[in-house]
Structure 1
Amino acid sequence: MPAVMTAIDTTASRATAAPASGEGSWPEGAILVVDDEPGMRNFLVKTLAPRCRFVAAAASAEEGERWMRAQRFDLVILDVALPGISGVQWLQALRAQGYGGEVILITAFASLDTAIEALRAGASDFILKPFRVPQILNAIRQCHERARLRRENFVLRRDVRPSPSQDTPLIGDSPATQRVRAAIERIAPMPSTVLIQGESGTGKELVARALHARSPRAGAPFVAVQCGAPSAEQLAHELFGRASGSHGAHDGLFVYAQGGTLFLDEVADLPPPVQASLLRVLEERQIRPVGSQQTVPVDVRVIAATNRPLADEVAAGRFREDLYFRLRVVDLTLPPLRERREDIPALVRHFVETLAPALGVAPLAVDEEAMALLQRYRWPGNVRELRNWVERSLILGEVNVSALYPPLREPLRPQAAEAPLDLETLQRRHIQAVLDSVGGDKTRAAQLLGVSRRTLERRVAEWAAQDGTTR
């Protein structure tokens, strides 16, 4: 690279030399200065070095382009009048390539037309030269705040799951529930990676949210992602982002979760290439966007969840052993509903109280006989299945345990006539009943079961292979 292209990694220096004022600080950010005046470049680099993680300088848009291909920048401070491609022209090209970071345009020769052109091109701010240090730092502070709000809005728009209060696994006072509560209180303040294991419907995501809410990261984003993506490439793009290229650039969920928690649901479904990438992230605390040669530091707590015993996946060769141990710094196993049957009355009351107003229907009373039958049932779908049963009862306006929900017919047979059923058989019957209820629509069935379509298809294929049939 030409000698004029300079860079300072300030991570170590900031530990001992903090700026006099916090105004305009972007401790985790990388900033690129593009200006053809050496004095202005040096002034900005000297001003910003104590206030950001990484600062680089270039004398032209062409040199700045080379920096953008080699490094991810959160903010570009860009002179309008540059030799060759102008600052406004390059800004237009950056936006067309998909660059979504902040850009502050600076110029000594401003006019109203120039300012309008700059804003239309996508500039975050427009500052006239000469300017004082507080002026540029205030502009950087505003850019930092906009970037933070943009990340938070992205997370909020993306998170369309039901309210945790509707699916809480922490209702009840059974010994198993009390142990989960105690574990959450003990684990939450720690920075360690957590692996939550348990059957579908036991409330793994809600426990992850509880860990986040009770941690020092509570004010930062909680970002949940399903690991059962259609392809390894798509999941890698979603998690780690993509560098500038023919398809544009975008940040990954690790960046959007910066300072907060990233929840990896159904982590057993991670494709092998993504497993390797995730292992590097957990070891190095840096991500490498797809197509980039540079890494981006991240400060994210990872909480993973799986409804299949991850040790079995390792033994079967489907999951990396080294990643398993990295994820299992703290292991929390959630009990199925059949192991805390005494919580069922409290859960039923809770769901009736929360769902009836939401549905606009009258609450229903569940008598002792019906409640006893509910407590006898094994609930292969766990708390989620119980909630769905309550919702259906409210919609239909009646409590009919024996006929309302087909999987509930099995426990009503006389005990003497019952043959012991293993968990695999119960799960298979339940999944088949849900598939039948939606006419074989696997996408809808997966949503009702709380698993990815990929997981559902894998289970159905396994059963078909056992039966010697095709589905």
Structure 2
Amino acid sequence: MVHEAIPPTQEAGSASGLAEGRWPEGAILVVDDEPGMRNFLVKTLAPRCRFVVAAASAEEGEQWMRAQRFDLVILDIALPGVSGVQWLHTLREQGYGGEVILITAFASLDTAIEALRAGASDFILKPFRVPQILNAVRQCHERARLRRENYVLRRHARPSRSEGTPLIGVSAATERLRAAIARVAPTPSTVLLQGESGTGKELVARALHAASPRAAGPFVAVQCGTLAPELLARELFGHARGPHGAHDGLFVYAQGGTLFLDEVADLPPAVQASLLRVLEELHIRPVGSQQTVPVDVRVIAATNRPLADEVAAGRFREDLYFRLRVVDIELPPLRQRREDIPALVEHFVATLAPALGVAPLEVDADAMALLQQYHWPGNVRELRNWVERSLILGEVNVSALYPPLRERPACAPGQPLDLETLQRRHIQAVLDSVGGDKTRAAQLLGVSRRTLERRAAEWAAQDGSAR
């Protein structure tokens, strides 16, 4: 929807049914004192952009900037009152990091230099033709898109090691998960994914995004426990000032898409409070800024620790917990969907063998039966790693999952192994492979060192009592 010089107190709409060739993320503010130029630019850009408004002065443009976030400002230099270059300086000092195209009918080399020093992205002389302004706008959007992608990849995004689509398998647990994704994906509701490490929470989040109306928008994932509280706030909400200038946060970069907050239980208290406010108000306040920025983002959160327990322990806000779990999806561990293991193994062999440049391997029925009997404490991630290791070594080595224990005799042939013994053997094998380094073993197993030490102490006590 297009608006010409509408007071910011009125509601501004957005266009729907975006046609090919449009810039769906493009919210543009046109500031020019000439009604004819404003009308020309609005009519030219409206069919191609999500949102276009026009103002007749810097003062009126300032009102719009306080009410709405703009990806691009097209700004006339010769304005009544505050000039375009003066207002551009103010915008940059206030932390506006978007693109700015300066336009003027009275240009000189000094004017152009001053405009670029003030932070203009482009400089166009009047009169200009439609292709010229469209090309400039297109280049601005492309620069902004590349800047967002580079920021996400460089500053926060973890490389996603595919553990197989969560929809692979025929077990009842997988069918329930498939049905939950189909039911929840089309809604705008916040989703909380809970499950053990390695169960594929990020993959489910990506499946929800891909099946949602936001699929054309970005999917931005952030690991909440990897940064200090003050840095995490800057990453999520942006900052108005800093050593490298103003910068948008991940909420802005996820506009129109999905923001995935992995291991949300690790959020520090201050960031929990800020996140709650964002979910309630749908606005963010960049660090160091007095202005709020509207956001249009679906939040999917995930944790491998029961969040209700974190609330009960006083480590997580109860009000935020209820905001996040509008929809709660529990991901089953692999031991609860053993019927899926053959299909997962087949999938991993088919995808990993070409990537590794090795020949695929056949897993016979006896080996598959042992794989299905194993406890898999690391879940699907551990299964994937086992397949990768087998491909690299060129053999299906199931026995690596069941090392013999010196403390106890091996089971008789054909006798089923209980889950406790299977888990102990696997953990002992991992410890042996890293020379007893419990920190490294815990990382490989996908558990905390404290959990590993607790299990080792339990087994030591059992061995002592057995003697």
Shorter chain as denominator, the TM-score bin is 0.7 to 0.9
CA distance in 1: counterparts of 2:386 and 2:87, whole angstroms: 58
Decide whether the 8 Å contact of 1:380 with 1:427 is kept in 2.
no
Shift in Å, 1:153 = 5.4
CA distance in 2: counterparts of 1:391 and 1:409, whole angstroms: 28
> What is the aligned partner in structure 2 of residue 374 from structure 1?
371
Which whole-Å deviations, capped at 9, do the CAs of 1:239-286 have from their partners, x for residues lacking one? Answer: 000013555210000000000000010011111111111101111111
Decide whether the 8 Å contact of 1:226 with 1:266 is kept in 2.
yes
Aligned match for 1:223, one of 210, 220, 232 = 220
> What is the aligned partner in structure 2 of residue 3 from structure 1?
none
Seen in structure 2, the aligned counterparts of structure 1 residues 402 and 289 have a Cα distance that, compared at 3 Å, is same
> What is the aligned partner in structure 1 of residue 332 from structure 2?
335
> What is the aligned partner in structure 1 of residue 465 from structure 2?
none
Q: Which amino acid aligns with 2:121?
A: S
Q: Which amino acid aligns with 2:349?
A: V
Alignment partner of 2:251: what SS?
A: helix
CA distance in 1: counterparts of 2:267 and 2:424, whole angstroms: 23
Q: Which amino acid aligns with 1:161?
A: P
**Residues 207-356 of structure 1 mapped to structure 2, 5 A cutoff:** 207-245=204-242, 248-356=245-353
Shift in Å, 1:171 = 1.6
Shift in Å, 1:14 = 3.9
Seen in structure 2, the aligned counterparts of structure 1 residues 84 and 122 have a Cα distance that, compared at 3 Å, is same
> What is the aligned partner in structure 1 of residue 464 from structure 2?
none
Shift in Å, 1:219 = 0.3
Q: Which amino acid aligns with 2:360?
A: P
CA distance in 1: counterparts of 2:405 and 2:42, whole angstroms: 66
Shift in Å, 1:411 = 12
Aligned match for 2:430, one of 419, 429, 433 = 433
Alignment partner of 1:170: what SS?
A: coil
Shift in Å, 1:8 = 4.0
Alignment partner of 2:390: what SS?
A: helix
Seen in structure 2, the aligned counterparts of structure 1 residues 69 and 169 have a Cα distance that, compared at 3 Å, is closer
| Structure 2: segments with no counterpart, 5+ residues | 460-467
CA distance in 2: counterparts of 1:182 and 1:301, whole angstroms: 20
Alignment partner of 1:12: what SS?
A: coil
> What is the aligned partner in structure 1 of residue 180 from structure 2?
183
> What is the aligned partner in structure 1 of residue 160 from structure 2?
162
Aligned match for 2:392, one of 390, 395, 405 = 395
Shift in Å, 1:29 = 3.8
Decide whether the 8 Å contact of 1:402 with 1:412 is kept in 2.
no
Say which is worse superposed, 400-409 or 182-191, in terms of deviation: 400-409
> What is the aligned partner in structure 2 of residue 195 from structure 1?
192
Seen in structure 2, the aligned counterparts of structure 1 residues 382 and 309 have a Cα distance that, compared at 3 Å, is same
Say which is worse superposed, 346-355 or 88-97, in terms of deviation: 88-97
CA distance in 1: counterparts of 2:103 and 2:296, whole angstroms: 31
Shift in Å, 1:417 = 10
Which whole-Å deviations, capped at 9, do the CAs of 1:314-372 have from their partners, x for residues lacking one? Answer: 11111111111101111110110000111111111111111111111111122222211
> What is the aligned partner in structure 2 of residue 9 from structure 1?
8
CA distance in 2: counterparts of 1:9 and 1:84, whole angstroms: 20
> What is the aligned partner in structure 2 of residue 100 from structure 1?
97
Alignment partner of 1:303: what SS?
A: strand
CA distance in 1: counterparts of 2:432 and 2:270, whole angstroms: 32
Aligned match for 1:384, one of 375, 381, 390 = 381
Which whole-Å deviations, capped at 9, do the CAs of 1:110-169 have from their partners, x for residues lacking one? Answer: 2467547755875322222466999768755664464345435544666452364x4323
CA distance in 2: counterparts of 1:54 and 1:421, whole angstroms: 69
Shift in Å, 1:419 = 7.4
Q: Which amino acid aligns with 1:202?
A: T
Q: Which amino acid aligns with 2:256?
A: G
Say which is worse superposed, 244-253 or 89-98, in terms of deviation: 89-98
CA distance in 2: counterparts of 1:346 and 1:24, whole angstroms: 41
Seen in structure 2, the aligned counterparts of structure 1 residues 319 and 231 have a Cα distance that, compared at 3 Å, is same
CA distance in 1: counterparts of 2:355 and 2:409, whole angstroms: 31
Q: Which amino acid aligns with 2:200?
A: G
Which whole-Å deviations, capped at 9, do the CAs of 1:33-82 have from their partners, x for residues lacking one? Answer: 4x8xxx4599759976995479694379xx98x99999965334445578
What is the root-mean-square deviation of aligned Cα atoms in Å? Answer: 4.8
Alignment partner of 1:9: what SS?
A: coil
CA distance in 2: counterparts of 1:9 and 1:465, whole angstroms: 65
**Residues 58-69 of structure 1 mapped to structure 2, 5 A cutoff:** 58=58
